[in-house]
Amino acid sequence: MTKLLEHGIKAVEALPPDRQDIAGRLLLEFARQAPPEYTLTPEQVEEVRLALEEMDRGEFATDEEVEAVWRKFGL
């Protein structure tokens, strides 16, 4: 194992279990060397990063905000 991979694994070990699972799935997918099912654009990657930061801060939509989105799309 390279030093860089070792440092990466140690950093992931410090994450909450759900984030460790995400990293594990990514690593397994990478090791499989198969093209991923989905490829995110750089903009989508940034949106996910921002959403994870909001989640870590406990910032979630209120019930009223969620209901407004459902109504907007007629669901």
Q: Which two tokens stand for residue 16?
A: 């909450």
Whole-number Å distance between alpha carbons of 9 and 26: 12
Considering the domain architecture, whether residues 46 and 69 belong to the same structural domain is answered as yes
Domain that holds residue 34: 1-39
Number of domains in the chain: 2
Nearest to 40 by CA among 48, 51, 30: 48
CA 3 to chain CA centroid, Å, is 25
Say if CB 10 and CB 1 are below 8 A apart.
no
> pTM, whole model, 2 decimals?
0.43
pLDDT value for 71: 92
Please say if the pLDDT value at position 41 is more than 80: yes
Considering the domain architecture, whether residues 48 and 74 belong to the same structural domain is answered as yes
| Average pLDDT for 51-59 | 93
Considering the domain architecture, whether residues 14 and 44 belong to the same structural domain is answered as no
